[in-house]
Structure formats: structure tokens, C-alpha cells
């Protein structure tokens, strides 16, 4: 499963952290990287299924449209808590058992959501789904550990592409099942897929043992803040990650609102299909990891942020042209994925012994961005319509470009 599992040990002392880690001298196999990517896509989709289902959930549980965005926000808040409390465990525990265990618990959480009889049970289940979905980031850190340094960006690009594609296809999958069998079927079918993937991963994941940190759990969590204090690159890339995912969430959370209303009045299936356009952009951005391996991370970031800003122009024409919207979606998702892959490729080279904590720290800002974008976009749409949403997205994108230009080295 791994092309060559020959490893060497290296003693490192950096910034107060000491680790004896096993460093791969050969890359993770293409098939295993693809499996990681598929697993990430399946799990991360669980926290985005609700976006095209908001109106159906609102009607069934009597939640007003002005507050239904809280379904997404709660998911993202607990996802952030999972990043803080669960992902760092990858530097302390056996990742094979950690990954399989979290996915099995995710199955239970999905069943709770799919069978919820009240809004309280729904919110509890949704919170658990978000909390446990952080297993995707444990998979990213594990893949980076298994990859050779010269190939790490490429491998991270493949795995994180699965995450972005999972986010985008979640809308298509949810829309189709919603129209066929109701919104509950989305979570129950996903529970089956997640269970199957948990079993496959437990069988396929390599028995890779790394020298674990001699830290208590509380010390492990505290060390994340130490990493932020010591690593400028982590601070900059986390801030960029937050801003690009604010923009990403501004589009995808609110897009269902104009498309489901007159004059379009599209079905959930049709609305979900717009995620396919985003997949094209995400796949095109997979090369960003290779560019980062070649030392072109800063240039890739700059070009991608310019494309992100430009994307809001065609997106703003949604009332006049669905083709323009599709072009904007492709540009936006290309840009977001390119910056995201570059961010992770750059931070995962900083401290090999702390990759789970580096990933967790970065992704906390991602989650803050997603939650902020979700609640801001639905609120702006109520008062200012789609033009207001597009302007908000453009402002956030411009701020990200300005921040990058002021902090690039």
C-alpha cells in the first residue's frame, strides 16, 4: 500500500519540542493517497449537507428563515472545538485507531440527525457531526507524515482536493436525495457510506508508528498556542485561510436562496448540481501543491487571490445569467483550493513532530471563517439581496489580497 515504507529516525529539538520521528524516504502510494482523499470527501460532506436542505429543515421544525443559518453555524462552531480538542491527539495517539474510532462515532451522530424528532435533538446531532468531522484533518496530517518531503505538497494537494470536492458535491448529493426521499435520507445514507469507509480505512491504513510526544493532554493543547507564538508562517497562513473560507461560505451558504426563489425556483437537485462547477475549479487547483513543492507558494497565493476577487463579478450577475454564475463558481473554487493547498503545504513543513497541531491550529481559523461567512451571508441577503452578498464577498476577497501583499516575504 505504501510504495516503500523504509524510514529513518531523526532527533529534533525545535522551539521546546523534542521528537524522534520516522521520516519517509519514499512517497505514499497514489492509491492510498486517493483513498485518503475519498475518505476526507465522505466525512467532510457530512457538515455541509444541511446547506441545500435549510428550507426543508426550517419547515419541518418550525425554525424561521432568519435563524435557520444557525444549523450551519453550530456545525462549524463544534467543528472548531473538534479541531482544538481532537486533532492534536494525532501527535499523541495511534492515528490508525484514532481515525477509525472517530468515523464510527460519526456514524452514530449521523443516525441521530437522520432520526431527530425535535429541533433540540437535531442540533445535538448536528453538533456531534461537526465535532467528529475533524478526522479529515487527522488524515491530512497522517498523509503528510507518510509523504517524502519533495512530494509532500502534491500528496497534501490530492488529499485536500478530496475535502473541497466533498464540500461541493455534498450539495449535489443532498439535493438529489432530498428530492427522492426527503432530507432525512441524506444523513442515513451518509451513515452507511461513513461506516463502510471506516472499515476500509482500518484495514488499509499502514501500521505506522511515530515517536509520540511525552506530553500530557493539557500540555499538548497548550503547545498549539506556543506554535502560533513561534511560527510567523502559521499565523499568516491561518489568517489567509480564515478570509478565503469566509468568502467561500458567503457564496455557498446563501446561493440556495436566490436559486430557489422566482424567477428560477430551482429544485434541490438542480441547486446541488452547481457544486459540479465548483469541483472543476477544485480539480484544477490540485496542481498548487506541486507548485508549493517547487518553492512557488507565494506566487500561487497571489494569483489565486486575484482570481478570487475577480470571481465575484460574474457571480453578481446571477439574476441575469446562470452561465456567468457557473464561471464565477469555477474561478472562486479554483482560487480557494489553490490558496488552501498552498497554506497547508507551507505550514506542514514547519514542525514535523507537530503536524497534527499545526493542522488543527490552521483549521480552527478555517472553521471561524466558514461560520462567519455562513451567518453573515444569510443576514446580508435578507436586507440587501444578492448584490449585497456579492459586494460582501468582494470586500472580504480584497482584504485577503491586501493582507497577503503586506505580509509576503
Give me the residue spans of the domains in the chain.
29-207+215-407
Ramachandran region, residue 295 (left: φ > 0; alpha: ψ -120 to 50; beta: rest): left
Name residue, grid cell 468531522.
133
Q: Is the pLDDT of residue 232 over 70?
A: yes
Total Cβ atoms within 10 A of residue 218: 8
pLDDT at 101: 93
pLDDT at 25: 47
pLDDT at 120: 87
What share of the chain has pLDDT > 70, as a percent?
89
pLDDT at 268: 67
Q: Is the pLDDT of residue 3 over 50?
A: no
Mean pLDDT of 353-368: 87
Question: 117 burial class (0-12, 13-18, 19+ CB within 10 angstroms)?
Answer: exposed
Residues 49, 71 contacting (CB under 8 angstroms) = no
Residues 194, 73 contacting (CB under 8 angstroms) = no
Residues 173, 42 contacting (CB under 8 angstroms) = no
Return d(Cα 329, Cα 306) in angstroms, integer. Answer: 14
pLDDT at 208: 63
CATH number of 29-207+215-407: 1.20.1250.20
pLDDT at 253: 82
Q: Is the pLDDT of residue 13 over 70?
A: no
Summarised one tens digit per residue, pLDDT across range 284-299 is: 766 777 788 788 889 9
What share of the chain has pLDDT > 90, as a percent?
37
Q: Is the pLDDT of residue 23 over 70?
A: no
More confident residue, 280 or 47: 47
pLDDT at 11: 37
Q: Is the pLDDT of residue 22 over 80?
A: no
Across the chain, mean pLDDT equals 83
> Grid coordinates representing 379?
443576514
> What is the distance between the terminal CA atoms of the chain, rounded to a whole angstrom?
38
Name residue, grid cell 461560505.
249
Mean pLDDT of 33-38: 90
pLDDT at 206: 75
Rounded (10°) CA dihedral 218, 222, 223, 226: -170
In this prediction, residue 270 has a pLDDT band, given cuts at 50, 70 and 90, of confident
pLDDT at 380: 93
Angle at 362 between CA 111 and CA 160, to 5 degrees: 60
In this prediction, residue 409 has a pLDDT band, given cuts at 50, 70 and 90, of low
In this prediction, residue 320 has a pLDDT band, given cuts at 50, 70 and 90, of confident
> Grid coordinates representing 372?
462567519
- Output the 3-class SS for the chain: CECCCCEEEEEEEECCEEEEEEEECCCECHHHHHHHHHHHHHHHHCCCCCHHHHHHHHHHHCCCCCCCCHHHHHHHHHHHHHHHHCHHHHHCCCHHHHHHHHHHHHHHHHHHHHCCCCHHHHHHHHHHHHHHCCHHHHHHHHHHHHCCHHHHHHHHHHHHHHHHHHHHHHHHHHHHHHHHHCHHHHHHHHHHHHHHHHHHHHHHCCCCCCCCCCCCHHHHHHHHHHHHHHCHHHHHHHHHHHHHHHHHHHHHHHCHHHHHCCCCCCCHHHHHHHHHHHHHHHHHHHHHHHHHHCCCHHHHHHHHHHHHHHHHHHHCCCCCCHHHHHHHHHHHHHHHHHHHHHHHHHHCCCCHHHHHHHHHHHHHHHHHHHHHHHHHHHHHHHHHHHHHHHHHHHHHHHHHHHHHHHHCC
Q: Which of 48-52, 200-204, 398-402 has the lowest mean pLDDT?
A: 48-52
Alpha carbons within 13 angstroms on the beta-carbon side of residue 126 total 26
Mean pLDDT of 195-207: 87
Mean pLDDT of 98-125: 91
pLDDT at 69: 66
Q: Which of 104-113, 213-222, 355-364, 400-409 has the lowest mean pLDDT?
A: 213-222
Summarised one tens digit per residue, pLDDT across range 239-248 is: 999 999 999 9
Q: Is the pLDDT of residue 18 over 80?
A: no
More confident residue, 314 or 210: 314
Which residues are within 8 A (CB) of 174 and not within 5 positions of it... i.e. 6 or more apart?
Answer: 48, 49, 50, 51, 52, 53, 183, 186, 268, 272
Mean pLDDT of 121-126: 90
Amino acid at each position: 500500500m505504501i510504495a516503500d515504507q523504509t524510514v529513518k529516525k531523526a532527533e529534533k529539538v525545535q522551539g521546546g519540542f523534542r521528537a524522534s520521528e520516522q521520516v519517509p524516504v519514499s512517497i505514499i502510494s497514489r492509491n492510498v493517497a486517493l483513498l485518503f482523499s475519498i475518505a476526507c470527501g465522505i466525512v467532510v460532506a457530512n457538515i455541509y449537507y444541511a446547506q441545500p436542505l435549510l428550507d426543508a429543515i426550517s419547515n419541518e421544525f418550525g425554525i424561521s428563515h432568519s435563524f435557520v443559518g444557525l444549523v450551519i453555524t453550530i456545525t462549524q462552531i463544534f467543528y472548531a472545538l473538534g479541531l482544538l480538542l481532537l486533532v492534536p491527539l494525532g501527535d499523541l495517539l495511534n492515528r490508525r485507531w484514532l481515525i477509525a474510532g472517530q468515523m464510527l462515532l460519526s456514524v452514530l451522530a449521523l443516525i441521530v440527525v437522520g432520526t431527530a424528532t425535535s429541533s433540540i435533538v437535531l442540533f445535538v446531532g448536528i453538533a456531534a457531526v461537526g465535532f467528529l468531522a475533524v478526522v479529515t484533518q487527522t488524515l491530512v496530517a497522517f498523509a503528510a507524515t507518510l509523504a517524502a518531503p519533495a512530494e509532500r505538497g502534491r500528496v497534501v494537494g490530492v488529499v485536500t482536493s478530496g475535502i473541497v470536492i466533498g464540500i461541493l458535491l455534498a450539495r449535489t448529493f443532498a439535493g438529489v436525495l432530498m428530492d427522492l426521499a426527503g432530507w432525512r435520507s441524506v444523513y442515513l445514507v451518509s451513515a452507511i457510506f461513513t461506516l463502510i469507509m471506516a472499515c476500509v480505512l482500518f484495514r488499509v491504513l499502514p501500521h505506522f508508528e511515530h515517536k509520540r510526544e511525552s506530553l500530557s493532554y493539557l500540555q499538548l493543547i497548550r503547545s498549539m498556542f506556543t506554535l502560533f507564538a513561534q511560527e510567523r508562517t502559521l499565523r499568516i497562513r491561518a489568517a489567509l485561510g480564515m478570509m478565503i473560507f469566509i468568502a467561500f461560505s458567503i457564496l455557498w451558504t446563501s446561493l440556495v436562496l436566490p436559486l430557489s426563489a422566482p424567477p428560477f425556483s430551482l429544485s434541490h437537485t438542480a441547486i446541488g448540481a452547481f457544486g459540479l462547477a465548483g469541483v472543476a475549479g477544485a480539480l484544477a487547483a490540485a496542481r498548487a501543491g506541486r507548485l508549493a513543492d517547487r518553492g512557488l507558494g507565494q506566487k500561487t497565493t497571489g494569483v489565486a487571490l486575484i482570481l478570487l476577487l475577480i470571481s465575484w463579478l460574474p457571480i453578481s450577475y446571477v439574476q441575469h445569467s446562470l452561465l456567468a454564475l457557473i464561471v464565477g463558481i469555477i474561478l472562486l473554487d479554483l482560487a480557494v483550493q489553490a490558496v488552501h493547498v498552498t497554506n497547508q503545504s507551507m505550514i506542514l513543513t514547519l514542525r514535523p513532530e507537530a503536524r497534527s497541531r499545526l493542522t488543527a491550529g490552521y483549521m480552527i481559523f478555517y472553521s471561524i471563517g466558514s461560520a462567519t461567512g455562513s451567518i453573515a451571508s444569510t443576514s446580508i441577503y435578507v436586507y440587501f439581496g444578492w448584490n449585497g452578498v456579492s459586494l460582501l464577498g468582494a470586500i472580504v476577497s480584497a482584504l485577503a489580497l491586501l493582507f497577503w501583499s503586506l505580509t509576503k516575504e
